[in-house]
Structure 1
């Protein structure tokens, strides 16, 4: 099973890692952890998110959902058949599509 790190997915979608974590936190993007220590905290006392991964199938599901909910005027021109990750991310950030 292929999985994305938060950093890799953020780079591919052209957004911040925090945006990916926000999608995870509100339940719009499912993730799992490969960390063996669920009680780990960082130096600020915040639970560590090191080891967070998102399955490739989950990324595809989310991207497909974004394409389905985007209106024709917000998507690429009709001769393009696939929105890029960064274009989907921009639409999601603007609130013009539902994640």
Structure 2
């Protein structure tokens, strides 16, 4: 009787461990698969900017928060509404 309770307890612990590991693995896969290459996208987005370093810094901030960057070197904000609506403390558009 005692050995069956012990075996059941060990089985319960093993199942809990395996379920936890499965969720951790799934979360890691979703995080890696859902992210875009902010550095590369912002490098192209800011390639024609007159203030290149400021543009890159703002674009990377917006990209990491929104996980998108509009195509092209300017405009096309309709493809990324989060990027378009992000503003500074002064109410100006933050993202280039």
**Fold match, TM over 0.5?**
no
TM-score by length of 1: 0.25
Which structure would you say has the larger Rg? 2
Structure having the higher helix fraction is: 2
Structure having the higher strand fraction is: 1
Structure with more relative contact order (C-alpha pairs < 8 Å, separation 6 or more): 1
